[in-house]
Structure 1
């Protein structure tokens, strides 16, 4: 029968059999979200599952999710999988897992291929002897008897002692292939086989079921509603059995049912063998199959976790429906196109959505399309605004500006009748009938006088207009591709944004009336403009923003900013933002939402107005590259109220994982301890926040953000208690903390008795040490005085010596010159002074390196010292200049000394430094004849200058005296 038929059958059954059904609806029942409002995602082998066929699903008391596959068990913490397969730890005889059972003690039973049967409790695996046949289902009844349904060997009952009783066809089973088990309120065990349904009575005798609908048909799924009535899912449909004798009611006809799950008493999820997932509620059967994102139409298992996420095991991986913060509407829900540019919340209660392929209206949960084909060829919508009397203004990409009233096109403006361009990225109707239009080639004002266009010549920083806004004081703000212009009293003036990190593009505006702040979203962050003082402030990367480009800001009713961007949607605390611009806070905190939070694409669209809006119901709508995304900020508070459980997953000591079950003390000298943990929440797993406290080390709780590990190094010996708590953003910390006690043993020398012994030994030795010390102090004092004297002489020598060449430095030479000049003056003796400069030395540094230049200077200095007389003083004058003082030397003798030095230097071999390197010097020589000391130095310098000017490599005597 087609789906329409069984929908009709189900509705009729509801009308006539409400008192009997598990689907009876209360008049006060809360609204049920449509399937389109759920966030859908799939996990498969690419995400870490060992196999894509998900045979079984379970959630244990600690919060972990467990997936049974043909390649083992996968345990999921919301971020990653841990795989358990055939090993000594698990005791499984084969990796194939067919079924889970979570009993009344919250113990997980696992069974599957080769009759493998294990029990998992608090991380400990206990294996039972295998049956040697595939196990399809398990059930631990109220009397602690374990029922085991097999594929081909009937039904087993195992008591608490481990003894097993087998039921086969001779005991009354219709078939020895058993698919389903359930215990009702009277303690009867219902058994679904490949050839019908039976039950076991109080004496554990198999009894047939009278209705013929179950005879000869495979029974794959069994469930009980709150009234204790039995739902039977078979290969031929879904049936309700009110009593043992009553004729069953057909809920679905000719639909092969494989799994059943009650979300509540009036919501039933139905897995099918080949038709995907069904949900029955309020007389309606909804379908979800591979066309809506289901990885495979064969459903094997269903699970509703503690946060009301629905997990669906299929042949193509696990599928999840969850109530994410964001929901997204795309062409699948009726949009004309997925590339959405603009959204508008209208006073008629509807939301208008402009896409690249047309205009949609969303009202009362229904999306319809507004036909603009009479005036718009492409129907690509860039901007939307509401005018007086609820008219709708539509800016298009190629067809200008359209006014729509009561579903009809009222006016149409384009380049043919006055607009500067047909590309309309912003439109702003005013209450007096004036309409401002932002185009790609300038801004326009439309009033009863006609159209006036504004361009660069009128003061616009750029003709590319993306945003328009009239503030509460009447000023018109125009956002362009090169800044912001403000129109006041019919004059345009640009805001100076040059000091704000080179902000250029202004994508959107929003006015904060309570704070008197005009917010501008730009390509460098968020700019605040004080409407009273005109002061500008930036909240950008330097203030903690994660990236530069921001499109549209919306202020919600809870005091948060929602800002769209190319990389997701940011949520900022408004109070923090005001503190930042007031200088009371350095950095701002943020949350970034994206595809894992329900958006089909984290790439929001900007460059036209408005790219995001606040709807009348408090929801925020954002234009994105794949549909329009909606977030209800109040729902985030509901998510925050959830308290995710937290578990400790790994203990790593010196980088090696060790078991923390019955943990032994850690060895002395343990240097690095890492503890990994996980919050087992699945709505916003990546956003779970953590805090840790290591008692005995930390003074207070340490906020870890979303980081899932705490590492400690160089912990002193002792006993520590590690505690970790988790919370959703904005929520309270979970009271159910995870804890781990650690003990680090001390070395021998760290034990108290050893330390006491050391203290005694030290005390005994102290008196001897003091006495010895007093005696040695005098010796040390004498030695110190001697050392100080020697070092003083050495320092004095170093202070008068050039560090590179070892010659006397300028200071030593100046002192010697003073002394020798005065002595020569007293004895009427001749004193000669020669200044020597290395020719072309700069080329050595530039071409061969400064290091080689230093080596050249050292060799020249050594030659000068070697060839000078004992009475002469050779010093480094500075750079590549040297000076020689020749006491009691006639001018003729001094000429001989200098010429010898010049020739020796000319012959000096530098080939080992550089093959073509030859060095010469220029020398200026003077005497003290009739010259004061300053004149003597000046005379030598002039002679040196003359030597260099007349060709270098020569000696010049001052005033040409010989």
Structure 2
């Protein structure tokens, strides 16, 4: 398993490679800067690492693959770990997998998208949706596996050459005697034309089929060295060897790039125009329009030996190393630090300039980001410490810079043009807030009070003038002349007449510190960030509303509010960045909701530190591209809300991972039929998204119990207690925050058995028992009367009237018994009918339809008659319930059911399938018949007059129909029909999709 050392020392290889990398990067740099299509720099990717401490069974990651259902699979020497974004589940040797050893060397996918795992002791196992299937082992380590176009499995071994495993089980070995050149085979690549490339311990060979024989052809032009990696790159073949990366095209071999001509390449990944290159001891390289970039342990890799590379469906790059699993991915936030050229990492203020640049003030100076380049602004002539507290752009485009100990400085045209400090009359040199007066004056908020600077000089305002405290942190000048002043003791307002008055914060949960102001002109609100939450100040009525703990915020102190181009509100805090949907904010202010939902972003989202900074202007800014910048204790963090929308648009697959019954985990195959008395059913599920796995949202519905979808937030379990007997179908779907729900849901069906006294047979037995008891009592009574008559024969005459009355009474009892039996039979018949009818529409229910479907399919199969199934779904029905109430929705269901039933034939079976969906079974009908009937139904429903139920209310349906194919499983017919219904929805609704 180790790579053999060559005569060239690794030290000399490393030195030469680094020099060539620098040269190549320099050659590519002009092109990179001019290309709009260049990918983000490696330094902008968010890095994450997982090791055995996080649940991996081993830190050597041999192989990576993603299964069709969305799981990430990691091959290690201690088993295959399945990762759902939050936790690992390990599969090793044993009866389940059929593997003889837990060591997994490679994981591949066959043409049916099943996983193929190979490894130590020659174990081979396929993992499909239906389970695991093992193949006979080879008793030798298998390095790689690939399936060709004929379904043959090609197996690269460590010492026995190459094996071909045919679909019929026949195996053929290709070793040195067959021309392979070396019995150690490291890599395999199967081509569409049926040929196979094999990288051996001493070169590359190609195997092609010719007249039922296999021709083995060595590839000339490569160094005599192990070939560890093979990848297609356009029309060429990339060959990763122990002595560099090569490219094979049109029969010629050439060095891929000078900078990697001698590097030992262990694995390759091609992503569009990018080539990711894993090496044995030089870390990870990327070759792209940006040039050649390197990532090593010094820049975050857990180990410089790269064993595997993989790109998942969300575009994340997964790197398997000798020291754990590593990932590079896009993150909502990108953070600039001193490593990117900033003057310092402790950022107090950011400014989006009108010229498109971004100014960043830190504890060690001010930097400007312009045209993707960071440049330092030199204030050393006037500032010894260059600790920056505030930034503000003047109307003339110059920038005023507030420092911690050197007053305020004006920068214009690349130089310092003016400075104010204590020597000029400022109250203090600590400048936290800046604002501009209408006449060109300058308002300066200091640690000792407020100053106003104009052509007449410097004017001061302190407690004596009405300030709550002299510590000024924020200023905002409204267009009507009001100056809002944020202090350590609340907010004061200076009115145009010169008076300064403090706002009454007594009803705002004890708020005291006012860290920042954000005007919201469209809403007429000034947002105030305080130590008790966000205050909405109505600029017209002066009414204040606190959005704090009572509104659902997780903590008290917020430092700065910023409004993005979508009018959503972002808040910085000491514990992360929050985002609030604007519509929800408006609902809260209008009293339509009592709690706010939010997204909280932290280190896992790209922030180097979740601790944002505040108490100076501005602590957040919106640039001309729509991105938002935040000042944090570890760099300036930028987020593009549009990128978040891209993340949210991802359609997340979701899987059901486990079922617990009464607290005990049960295999899903055994849990479909639950025993009577089951009082707790718990279902565990996972959305398979890896960009923001902890933030995935879920919603579920238990058909047969829930009337609508239940939103569960980030909770990935659903628990049901004391379910009544019956059949149930559990549905779950997932989405990223602010994203759309995936219409492809995971489902699981189960049933709860009734107690014996809940079964119909019990009630029938009770009925028969009651009847028998009445009969026995009656017979006993008759016999008793007969004996009494014999004993009292002498008194017949005297007792005649009494006996007649007794006889009348017995006849009445008999009539009552007959009436009781008739009523019991009538109720039993009525109960049986109701059990098969939908109570709302009067149509057959799901149970009755399932029985009809099984019966009609059997008849169609036996008599060779056509049979069609149509699924009908009311379009946008959820909107009817949301906007016109569920009562109106029920009326719509009855109207639609009536209209469909009116156009059905007597032999057809119509049922309410569930919710707003109906099912129609058409015996002795082919595709033309179902098209005709479906079109009539669609037109009839579209013509329903709903004006009496609601204004502008119109109802349409979408229909999917398919013909039963004799012998196919009923689930297949339902699945095909449901897919056609989904297609009708996708293609615009109010239409019919019929299988051809």
2:132 corresponding residue in structure 1: 125
SS in structure 2 at match of 1:657: strand
1:234 corresponding residue in structure 2: 241
SS in structure 1 at match of 2:593: coil
Residue 744 in structure 1 maps to residue 752 in structure 2? yes
1:583 maps to which of 559, 574, 591: 591
1:842 corresponding residue in structure 2: none
Q: Distance in 2 between matches of 1:419 and 1:193?
A: 77
2:465 maps to which of 441, 458, 465: 458
SS in structure 1 at match of 2:481: coil
Residue 65 in structure 1 maps to residue 72 in structure 2? yes
2:321 corresponding residue in structure 1: 314
Q: Distance in 1 between matches of 2:216 and 2:534?
A: 74
SS in structure 1 at match of 2:209: coil
CA distances 1:340-364 after superposition (whole Å, capped 9, x unpaired): 1110001121001111111111112
2:417 corresponding residue in structure 1: 410
Q: Distance in 1 between matches of 2:581 and 2:479?
A: 23
1:631 corresponding residue in structure 2: 639
2:216 corresponding residue in structure 1: 207
Q: Distance in 2 between matches of 1:218 and 1:246?
A: 16
SS in structure 2 at match of 1:537: strand
- Offset, 1:644: 0.4
Q: Distance in 2 between matches of 1:168 and 1:349?
A: 64
SS in structure 2 at match of 1:639: helix
Residue 183 in structure 1 maps to residue 183 in structure 2? no
Q: Distance in 2 between matches of 1:589 and 1:307?
A: 26
Residue 567 in structure 1 maps to residue 575 in structure 2? yes
Residue 668 in structure 1 maps to residue 676 in structure 2? yes
1:439 corresponding residue in structure 2: 446
CA distances 1:572-611 after superposition (whole Å, capped 9, x unpaired): 1223223322323322221111111111111111111111
1:727 corresponding residue in structure 2: 735
1:332 corresponding residue in structure 2: 339
1:391 corresponding residue in structure 2: 398
Q: Distance in 2 between matches of 1:752 and 1:96?
A: 55
Q: Distance in 2 between matches of 1:245 and 1:515?
A: 68
CA distances 1:791-821 after superposition (whole Å, capped 9, x unpaired): xxxxxxxxxxxxxxxxxxxxxxxxxxxxxxx
Cα–Cα, structure 1 residues 599 and 9, in superposed 2: closer, same or farther, change >3 Å?
closer
1:273 corresponding residue in structure 2: 280
1:683 corresponding residue in structure 2: 691
User: How does the TM-score come out when normalised to structure 1?
Assistant: 0.76
Cα–Cα, structure 1 residues 272 and 578, in superposed 2: closer, same or farther, change >3 Å?
same
1:647 maps to which of 628, 633, 655: 655
1:90 maps to which of 88, 93, 97: 97
SS in structure 1 at match of 2:764: helix
2:374 maps to which of 358, 361, 367: 367
SS in structure 2 at match of 1:388: coil
1:221 maps to which of 229, 234, 242: 229
Q: Distance in 2 between matches of 1:480 and 1:94?
A: 68
2:312 corresponding residue in structure 1: 305
- Offset, 1:765: 8.2
SS in structure 2 at match of 1:433: coil
- Offset, 1:529: 1.1
Q: Distance in 1 between matches of 2:691 and 2:616?
A: 33
1:920 corresponding residue in structure 2: none
SS in structure 1 at match of 2:360: strand
CA distances 1:679-713 after superposition (whole Å, capped 9, x unpaired): 00111111111111111111111111110000001
Greater Cα offset, 613-622 or 424-433: 424-433
CA distances 1:897-952 after superposition (whole Å, capped 9, x unpaired): xxxxxxxxxxxxxxxxxxxxxxxxxxxxxxxxxxxxxxxxxxxxxxxxxxxxxxxx
SS in structure 2 at match of 1:202: strand
Q: Distance in 2 between matches of 1:520 and 1:763?
A: 80
Residue 378 in structure 1 maps to residue 385 in structure 2? yes
Q: Is the 8 A contact 1:184 1:224 kept in 2?
A: no
1:421 maps to which of 418, 422, 428: 428
Cα–Cα, structure 1 residues 119 and 421, in superposed 2: closer, same or farther, change >3 Å?
same
Cα–Cα, structure 1 residues 614 and 765, in superposed 2: closer, same or farther, change >3 Å?
farther
For residues 806-817 of structure 1, the aligned pairs below 5 Å read none
1:520 maps to which of 528, 537, 553: 528
Residue 5 in structure 1 maps to residue 20 in structure 2? yes
Cα–Cα, structure 1 residues 35 and 245, in superposed 2: closer, same or farther, change >3 Å?
closer
1:692 maps to which of 689, 700, 706: 700
2:363 maps to which of 349, 353, 356: 356
Q: Distance in 1 between matches of 2:313 and 2:614?
A: 38
User: How does the TM-score come out when normalised to structure 2?
Assistant: 0.73
Can you give the 5+ residue segments of structure 1 that lack an aligned partner in the other structure? 16-23, 770-962
Residue 608 in structure 1 maps to residue 608 in structure 2? no
2:783 corresponding residue in structure 1: none
Q: Distance in 1 between matches of 2:290 and 2:71?
A: 34
- Offset, 1:42: 1.1
Residue 617 in structure 1 maps to residue 625 in structure 2? yes
1:716 corresponding residue in structure 2: 724
Cα–Cα, structure 1 residues 422 and 763, in superposed 2: closer, same or farther, change >3 Å?
farther
Q: Is the 8 A contact 1:6 1:253 kept in 2?
A: no
Q: Is the 8 A contact 1:508 1:551 kept in 2?
A: yes
Q: Distance in 1 between matches of 2:482 and 2:28?
A: 64
- Offset, 1:527: 0.8
Q: Distance in 2 between matches of 1:383 and 1:765?
A: 95
Q: Distance in 1 between matches of 2:762 and 2:232?
A: 69
Cα–Cα, structure 1 residues 512 and 410, in superposed 2: closer, same or farther, change >3 Å?
same
1:878 corresponding residue in structure 2: none
Q: Is the 8 A contact 2:404 2:431 kept in 1?
A: yes
- Offset, 1:123: 5.5
Greater Cα offset, 394-403 or 551-560: 394-403
SS in structure 2 at match of 1:92: coil
- Offset, 1:661: 2.9
Q: Distance in 2 between matches of 1:173 and 1:503?
A: 78
- Offset, 1:173: 2.0
Residue 51 in structure 1 maps to residue 58 in structure 2? yes
Greater Cα offset, 134-143 or 329-338: 329-338
- Offset, 1:4: 5.0
Residue 557 in structure 1 maps to residue 565 in structure 2? yes
Q: Distance in 2 between matches of 1:629 and 1:11?
A: 28
Q: Distance in 1 between matches of 2:99 and 2:253?
A: 43
Can you give the 5+ residue segments of structure 2 that lack an aligned partner in the other structure? 1-15, 778-996
- Offset, 1:209: 3.4
- Offset, 1:207: 3.2
- Offset, 1:72: 1.1
Residue 137 in structure 1 maps to residue 144 in structure 2? yes
2:537 maps to which of 509, 529, 538: 529
CA distances 1:504-540 after superposition (whole Å, capped 9, x unpaired): 0001101111111111011111111111111111111
Cα–Cα, structure 1 residues 161 and 686, in superposed 2: closer, same or farther, change >3 Å?
same
1:347 maps to which of 344, 347, 354: 354
SS in structure 2 at match of 1:584: coil
Q: Distance in 2 between matches of 1:394 and 1:630?
A: 21
SS in structure 2 at match of 1:427: strand
- Offset, 1:242: 0.9
- Offset, 1:544: 1.8
Q: Distance in 2 between matches of 1:587 and 1:678?
A: 27
Residue 255 in structure 1 maps to residue 263 in structure 2? yes
Q: Is the 8 A contact 2:247 2:253 kept in 1?
A: no
Cα–Cα, structure 1 residues 685 and 763, in superposed 2: closer, same or farther, change >3 Å?
farther
Cα–Cα, structure 1 residues 88 and 630, in superposed 2: closer, same or farther, change >3 Å?
same
Greater Cα offset, 120-129 or 322-331: 120-129
Q: Distance in 1 between matches of 2:307 and 2:271?
A: 17
Q: Is the 8 A contact 1:149 1:155 kept in 2?
A: yes
Cα–Cα, structure 1 residues 768 and 490, in superposed 2: closer, same or farther, change >3 Å?
farther
Q: Is the 8 A contact 1:387 1:431 kept in 2?
A: no
- Offset, 1:206: 5.1
1:469 corresponding residue in structure 2: 476
CA distances 1:280-333 after superposition (whole Å, capped 9, x unpaired): 112611111222211111111111111111111111111111111111111221
2:961 corresponding residue in structure 1: none
